[in-house]
Amino acid sequence: MKTWAIVLSALFATWTLTGVTAAHARGADDDIIMEEDDTSKPAEDTPTDATDPAATDVTDTTDPAATESTDAAAAVADDEKSLKKGDDEDARSYWSDIKVVPRKLILKQNRVELIPYMGVTLNDNLIRHIAFGGEFGYYMSDAMSIGVGGHMYTKQQTDRAYLTGLQQRVLPTLNQYLYTATLNVNYEAAYGKFAFHNKKILQWGIFLSGGLGVTGTEVIPRNAAHEPWTNMNITIQVGAGFRVFINQWLTLWGGVRNYMMQDKFENSNRTQPEADVGEKNAAARFINNLVFQVGVSVFFPTSFEYTTFK
């Protein structure tokens, strides 16, 4: 009998406590609903600092690194109303573990980055190249990396190359790119975040890139009976790009790089079919080879630990 009394008492206590905690939670939700009510108030009710972009703060509601984060200023302002309702202690404990600024999604220092990418040349109307390659980099700091990259090209002659012969009766002098390999230094010059539909926060960065390397090219003879030859040109690379951070080890990566070189073309007066004679009489010209590249970058090791407090 005594045992049954204990059981009944315990069940009563269980149901009662469950109700209390649910009421507690509903009370907290009421605080949030109050924020929505506030939206109907005139804008003058809230202080406006339109000239201070940094005053706008961002909260990620879905991201692992940022679910712990929100706009504390907004939260505190809204909490003031709930404090007046006598709910102060609960509200404070409710928001106290929420931080103002989301941490960087990826820390890069002392990590290596592997970037498989593909690209397309932009600035030649007569011949287009598709590039497939990759880059390997090591981050000395969170912003700067050194690395080596390279790609192979496949060529596509455009309609304009054919039409130039048909319409202006001129055979264009063309070289095709074979490969490019460069030693690169990359610097992340800008870092930002954006909200997609005010729901999902994504972090992104802009990087600048410079490098030195070689590019292999091959002459496409105007006369099919003439022999082609290949060139290996010292190449200076400058570029810029962006990345969008997906998780702690993956980013979407894209950029435009200019591979500058002094290339050797077939002389317009070439008559000898031999490649060595053609190369001896070649016409040199400075080339800007703009390549648009997109890919993904993978960081190793794939995980890391933050060294500072949230």
Partner 1 sequence: MKKLLHFLLFVSILGTTMSAYAVERGDPLKGQPAVRKRVLYLPARFEVTPSLGVSFLQDYRHSFLVGAKAEYHLNDYLSFGFSAHFSPVSMNTGLTDEIHATLPNQLEDDTWVNPTPSKDAMMDALNEIKLVMGPHITYTPAFGKMGLFSTVFFNFDVYFFGGLGLVMFEAGDLTPYTDTPDEYRQTVGDPDREPKLHIIVKEENGGMRFGPQAGIGFHFYLNSWMAINAEFRWMYIKRNAAGFDRNGDKTEPESINGLDRDWVIVDSKDESWENTMFFHFGLSMFFPQFAPRSN
Nearest to 200 by CA among 255, 253, 244: 244
Q: Which of 199, 269, 308, 309 binds partner 1 (CB under 8 A)?
A: 199
By CB under 8 A, is residue 283 in contact with partner 1? no
In the bound complex, what is the minimum distance in angstroms from residue 210's beta carbon to partner 1?
16
Nearer to partner 1, 54 or 224 (CB): 54
Backbone phi and psi for residue 130, each to the nearest 5 degrees, phi listed first: -100, 130
The first and second tokens of residue 207, run together, are 């990087």
What's the rounded Cα separation, in Å, for the pair 100 and 182?
41
> How many chain residues interact with partner 1 (CB under 8 A)?
73
Q: Beta-carbon neighbour count of residue 27 at 10 Å?
A: 15
By CB under 8 A, is residue 39 in contact with partner 1? yes
What's the rounded Cα separation, in Å, for the pair 293 and 134?
10
Q: Are strands 112-121 and 200-220 parallel, antiparallel or unpaired?
A: unpaired
In Å, how far are 209, 264, 270 from 274, measured between CA atoms?
40, 16, 10
Nearer to partner 1, 55 or 212 (CB): 55
In the bound complex, what is the minimum distance in angstroms from residue 136's beta carbon to partner 1?
26
Cis peptide before 301 (omega within 30 of 0): yes
By CB under 8 A, is residue 200 in contact with partner 1? yes
Nearer to partner 1, 1 or 305 (CB): 1
What kind and span of H or E run contains 231?
Answer: strand 230-245
- Cβ-contact 151, 119 below 8 angstroms: yes
Q: Which of 1, 89, 96, 169 binds partner 1 (CB under 8 A)?
A: 169
Q: Which of 154, 268, 272, 302 binds partner 1 (CB under 8 A)?
A: 268
By CB under 8 A, is residue 166 in contact with partner 1? yes
Nearer to partner 1, 67 or 109 (CB): 67
Q: Which of 168, 269, 303, 308 binds partner 1 (CB under 8 A)?
A: 168
By CB under 8 A, is residue 198 in contact with partner 1? yes
Q: Which of 84, 96, 159, 305 binds partner 1 (CB under 8 A)?
A: 159
In Å, how far are 151, 181, 190, 238, 273 from 298, measured between CA atoms?
18, 20, 20, 22, 48
What's the rounded Cα separation, in Å, for the pair 257 and 291?
5
By CB under 8 A, is residue 305 in contact with partner 1? no
By CB under 8 A, is residue 96 in contact with partner 1? no
Q: Which of 38, 80, 88, 276 binds partner 1 (CB under 8 A)?
A: 38
Nearest to 263 by CA among 240, 293, 298, 234: 234
Stretch that binds partner 1, among 108-116, 201-209, 219-227, 248-256 (CB under 8 A): 201-209
By CB under 8 A, is residue 142 in contact with partner 1? no
Q: Which of 83, 112, 157, 172 binds partner 1 (CB under 8 A)?
A: 172
In the bound complex, what is the minimum distance in angstroms from residue 53's beta carbon to partner 1?
4
In the bound complex, what is the minimum distance in angstroms from residue 56's beta carbon to partner 1?
4
Q: Which of 21, 262, 271, 302 binds partner 1 (CB under 8 A)?
A: 21
DSSP state of 69: B
Show contacts with partner 1 in window 44-73 (CB under 8 A).
46, 48, 50-51, 53-61, 67, 70-71, 73
Q: Which of 5, 96, 196, 286 binds partner 1 (CB under 8 A)?
A: 196
| Residue showing tokens 């009998």 | 1
What's the rounded Cα separation, in Å, for the pair 297 and 310?
26
